[in-house]
Amino acid sequence: MKKKLLALLLAMTFILMSVAATSCSGEGSTPPPAGGGTGDANEPGGTQASAGTEAPDTEAPVETNEYGFPREFFEDYMPNDDAQYSGKVGISGTAGVLFDDFRVRMGTLDEVFRYDFEDGKALPDGMFTTFGGAVADWQIAEDGDNHALTYKGSGDSVLTVGNNKWTGKYTVTAKVKLAAGGEARLYFCVKDENNLYYATATETTVSLHQIENGTDKELNTIPIGVKADEMFPMSVTVDLDGAEVYINSENYFNVGEALEEHVYAGKFGFSVWSTDVYFDNVKIVDSKTGEVLFEEDFEGDCDFLTNATFGIRNGGNWTINPADIEIIEIEGGNHVLHIPASCGNGPTVLFDGNIGDGKSTYTFTYDGYVVSGGEAFPCVWDVKDTVDSNGHLADYLCYNLGGWSKQCGFQTIIGGNKTPDQTGVAAGIIDQTWQHIRVELISTGAILYLDDNLVQFHTY
C-alpha cells in the first residue's frame, strides 16, 4: 500500500514539473532582454516594450569621408538653387597671427566641420587647400596651454576648406589672436581665388573686401581695431540672399540683401538738457569724397540762427523763447553758439535739412564746452519733421553725449519712442574745457569719438 502511494506521488510530481517547464519555455513566451537585464527600463539592458512590440528604428549612421566629416556636406553636397551666394571658407594672416576653433555650422545645428588643433597633428593635405603657400606651411603652435594654427611660410597664403558650392544658411567662425602690427582675414563665399569675399581685422581698422574676376575691391572700412595678443571671434553667417559679418561680436558689415544700407535724410543739430553749453567749429564732410557739406564757426556776419529750426527732444520741455539761444562773443573774442540751461530739458537747434541727405556715409565734427550743469553736448541727426502728441521731435538718431551724469549713449527715436534706449558708457567729459567731438556715420551704424578717443560704436 505504501509503495502504491509513493508511486502515485512521484507520478504527480513528474506531471507538475512537465507543465512548469512547458509554461516557461513554450511558444509565445517572452525571452529575457538582451544584455541580461530583467526587463526593467531602469536597469542596463532593460526595456518597457511589451511582448510582440517591434524595436524602435535607429538612425542610419552618417556617412563620413576619410577625414571624419559628413560626405553630404563635402563630396556629395547638393546646393540650394535659390541661393545668390555660395562658396567655401578660409583663413589667412600675417606672421604670428593665431587661429583657433575653426568651425562651420550648416543650418541651425549641424556642425559639419571643426578643428581646434589640440591634437597637435599636421593638417591633412586632402582636407585643406591653399591659394599661395602650401598646407604644410600652416603649422600648429603652442599658445600657453592652448594649441592654435599659424602660417609659417613665405608670401601670402589662404587656407580654405569645404565645397565651393556651399550655400546658406551656414556660419563660419574662428577665434583669432593678432600679433602686434598683424592682420587676420576670414574668407567666405569662395568660388576660387579670383572670386570671393573676405573680412579683415587689424589693431586700427576692420574692413570688408570682395575679389571679383581677380580685382580686389574694398567695400567698407571702419576705423575701429582689435587688441593684439588677445583672442577675439570672427564669424560670417551666409544666407541665400546675403551675409552678415561679425568681428569681435559686432555686426560691422553686411553683404547683398542682408545689407539694408541706411541712407541718411533729415536735419542735423544740437540738443541739451538743463545744461549751459557752448558749441563751435561745426563741420560736415562726405566721408567718401572729402567734400565739405557744411561749415560754420559762428564768426562775422553769421546768419545761422536765421535759417535754423527748433524742436524739443523726446521727453523734454521748452521753458523759454528760442530767441534766448544765441550767438555770443566769449573771452578771447571768439563767437560761439550758446544754449543756456534756462532753456530747460531738450531744446534742440537744427541745421539746414539738406545736409547729408541721400548719403550712406558722412562725418560731422564740432567743439563743445560745458559752462555748467549735469550733462553736456548731445548731437542729433536724421531728424524728421514729425512730432509726437506732446509736440516733441518724434523721429531721429542721437548720441546723448553727457546724459546719465556725463556718460554717453546712442538712442534711436521712432514714432516718439526710444528704440533702444542704450545704457550710458563713460565718455571722459570735462567741464569748463573745450572738447572735440567727431561722429562718423556709416551705412551700418555710427561711431563716436571724444578728443579723438573712441567712445562708442553702435550698429543700427
> HEC profile for the chain?
CHHHHHHHHHHHHHHHHHHHHHHHHCCCCCCCCCCCCCCCCCCCCCCCCCCCCCCCCCCCCCCECCCCCEHHHCCCCCCCCCCCCECEEEEEECCCCEEEEEEEEECCCEEEEEECCCCCCCCCCCCCEEECCCHHHEEEEEECCEEEEEECCCCCCEEEECCCCCECCEEEEEEEECCCCCCEEEEEEEEECCEEEEEEECCCCEEEEEEECCEEEEEEEECCCCCCCCEEEEEEEEECCEEEEEECCEEEEEEECCCCCCCECCEEEEEEECEEEEEEEEEEEECCCCCEEEEECCCCCCCHHHHCEEEEEEEEEECCCHHHCEEEECCCCCEEEEECHHHEEEEEEECCCCCCCCECCEEEEEEEEEEEECCCCCEEEEECCCECCCCCECCEEEEEECHHHHEEEEEEEECCEEEEECCCEECCCCCCCCEEEEEEEECCEEEEEECCEEEEEEEC
Q: Phi/psi at 33 (nearest 5 deg)? A: -65, 150
Q: Is the pLDDT of residue 6 over 80?
A: no
- Residue type at position 427: A
Q: Which of the pair, 32 or 350, is modelled with greater confidence?
A: 350
Residue 127: burial class (beta carbons within 10 Å; 0-12, 13-18, 19+): middle
pLDDT single digits (tens) 208-259: 999 999 999 988 888 889 999 999 999 999 999 889 999 998 888 888 854 5
| pLDDT digits 0-9 by tens, 175-199 | 999 999 999 999 999 999 999 999 9
The confidence score (pLDDT) of residue 295 equals 92
Better pLDDT: 322 or 49: 322
Mean pLDDT of 160-167: 90
| 419-428 pLDDT tens trace | 766 667 888 9
Rounded CA separation 355/367 (Å):
19
Locate cell 544754449: which residue?
A: 339
Q: What is the mean pLDDT of residues 416-420?
A: 78
How far apart, in whole angstroms, are the C-alpha atoms of residue 174 and residue 312? 46
pLDDT in tens, 255-285: 885 455 677 888 899 999 999 999 999 999 9
Distance separating alpha carbons of residues 288 and 316, to the nearest angstrom: 36
Cβ-proximal residues to 295 (8 Å cutoff; 6+ apart), any chain: 282, 283, 284
Confidence tier at 49 by pLDDT (50, 70, 90): very low
Count other Cβ atoms within 10 Å, centred on residue 285.
Answer: 19
CATH of 71-256, one of 1.20.120, 2.60.40, 2.60.120, 2.40.10: 2.60.120
pTM given for the model: 0.67
Find the radius of gyration of the CA atoms of the chain.
35
Q: Residue 344: pLDDT band by 50, 70, 90 thresholds? A: confident
Distance CA 38, CA 43 (A): 7
Does residue 316 register a pLDDT over 90? no
Mean pLDDT, the chain, rounded, equals 82
The count of C-alpha atoms lying within 13 angstroms of the C-alpha of 168, restricted to the half-sphere facing its C-beta, is 20
The share of the chain scoring above pLDDT 70, in percent, equals 81
52: pLDDT confidence band, cut at 50, 70 and 90? very low
Domain layout of the chain by residue ranges: 71-256, 267-459
Q: What is the mean predicted confidence (pLDDT) over 365-391?
A: 92
